[in-house]
């Protein structure tokens, strides 16, 4: 092997290890709610600095009788770089709903850093909408504008966390712009038509999915989602039929349902990008990411 080839391979190997360590720390920082870009560069540069220190001071350490310490340090640093890609794969397998996965066209999902992708990644076009300002929120509330954000949830599955999500959204966008409860359906109206109308007025539907969302049953034990008159089914069907953005919000460690577990009218839901809303201490960080995405969709 020529000297040039040897040097090239060494440099390639060192660069690959540096990238691996940086990416590993970036993934860990996302799980902790920290700045992933910052920790990528801090980790990568720190790793390079340690390698440079070993290269420059290796002979001195060996001359001082610190052979065992030096060898242990070398094995630890090089082992960390070699194993870091494996650690990244393990983390992505353990936390698929938290770590960012890019789409095949090189764009990130609408919801930054916590996208859920089931099946093939859909092409995401950046919405060209102006985010709401606090002044516009107040003006919209005073003028009685129709709701722009529709929250679909099942009480037996996620009533408590849905209330917390609703409160955060109301604080940001105003009460009149967020529709949450079917209790507001006027008496005497066809609830299916009314829900279809309300969903048609909104600009985004949030489908809150908990650990009992898929298997919730009625008094006779039948799955509610299989009932064409089920409120949750009607709401999501209406949004999908109108091609309204539907964002699944996974709560209580829920995962996206399989396509074959849903009625045919809801199967497109599994291909919509979503976000996990975790419990404290991560709740407000996850909500901040959701609100940032909603600002691009709601005007």
Q: Is 143 helix (H, G, I), strand (E, B) or coil?
A: helix
Burial zone of 63 (CB within 10 Å; 0-12 exposed, 13-18 middle, 19+ buried):
exposed
CB 109 within 8 A of CB 115: yes
User: Does the residue 278 lie in any domain?
Assistant: yes
Element (DSSP H or E) covering residue 204: strand 204-209
Q: How many domains does the chain have?
A: 2
In a domain, 153, yes or no: yes
Q: Which residue range(s) make up the domain with 37? A: 3-94
147 in a structural domain:
yes
Span 174-204, pLDDT tens digits: 988 998 876 667 778 888 888 888 898 899 9
3-state SS assignment for residue 151: strand
76 conformational bin, left if phi > 0, alpha if psi -120 to 50, beta if neither: alpha
CB contact at 8 A, 195 and 231: yes
Residue 115 lies in a domain: no
Predicted TM-score (pTM) of the model is 0.53
Residue in 71, 84, 100 with CA at minimum distance from that of residue 22 = 84
Contact 103, 39 (CB under 8 A): no
Query: CB atoms < 10 A from the CB of 191, how many?
Result: 13
Helix (H) or strand (E) holding 263: none
Residue 124: per-residue pLDDT: 39
Both 39 and 174 in one domain: the answer is no
Same domain for 33 and 181, yes or no, is: no
Predicted pLDDT of residue 76: 74
Ordered mean pLDDT values, 10 residues apiece, the chain (299 residues): 62 72 77 71 80 73 69 74 78 63 36 39 41 47 66 92 94 89 74 86 94 91 91 93 94 93 94 93 93 88
CB 81 within 8 A of CB 20: yes
Beta bridge mates, 277: 251
d(CA 190, CA 198): 12
In angstroms, the CA 101 to CA 33 distance is 16
Residue 111 lies in a domain: no
pLDDT of residue 207: 96
CB 150 within 8 A of CB 239: yes
Q: What is the pLDDT of residue 195?
A: 86
Domain CATH number, residue 288: 3.40.50.10140
């Amino acid at each position: 092997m020529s000297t040039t080839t040897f040097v090239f391979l060494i440099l390639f190997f060192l660069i690959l290890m540096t990238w691996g360590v940086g990416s590993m720390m970036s993934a860990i920082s996302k799980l902790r709610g920290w700045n992933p870009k910052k920790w990528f560069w801090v980790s990568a540069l720190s790793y390079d600095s340690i390698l440079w220190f070993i290269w420059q001071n290796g002979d001195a350490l060996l001359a001082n009788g610190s052979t065992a310490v030096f060898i242990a340090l070398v094995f630890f640093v090089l082992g960390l770089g070699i194993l870091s890609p494996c650690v990244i794969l393990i983390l992505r397998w353990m936390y698929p709903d938290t770590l960012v996965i890019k789409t095949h066209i090189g764009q990130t999902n609408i919801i930054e850093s916590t996208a859920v992708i089931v099946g093939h990644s859909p092409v995401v076009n950046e919405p060209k909408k102006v985010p709401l300002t606090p002044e516009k929120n107040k003006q919209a509330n005073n003028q009685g504008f129709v709701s722009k954000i529709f929250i679909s949830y099942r009480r037996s599955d996620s009533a408590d966390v849905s209330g917390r999500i609703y409160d955060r959204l109301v604080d940001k966008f105003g009460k009149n712009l967020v529709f949450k409860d079917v209790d507001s359906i006027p008496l005497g109206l066809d609830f299916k038509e009314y829900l279809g109308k309300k969903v048609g007025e909104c600009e985004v539907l949030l489908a809150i999915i908990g650990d009992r969302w898929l298997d919730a049953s009625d008094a006779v034990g039948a799955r509610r989602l299989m009932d064409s008159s089920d409120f949750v089914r009607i709401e999501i069907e209406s949004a999908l039929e109108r091609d309204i953005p539907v964002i699944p919000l996974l709560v209580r460690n829920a995962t996206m349902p399989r396509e074959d577990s849903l009625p045919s009218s809801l199967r497109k839901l599994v291909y919509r990008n979503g976000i996990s809303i975790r419990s404290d201490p991560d709740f407000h960080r996850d909500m901040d990411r959701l609100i940032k995405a909603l600002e691009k969709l709601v005007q």
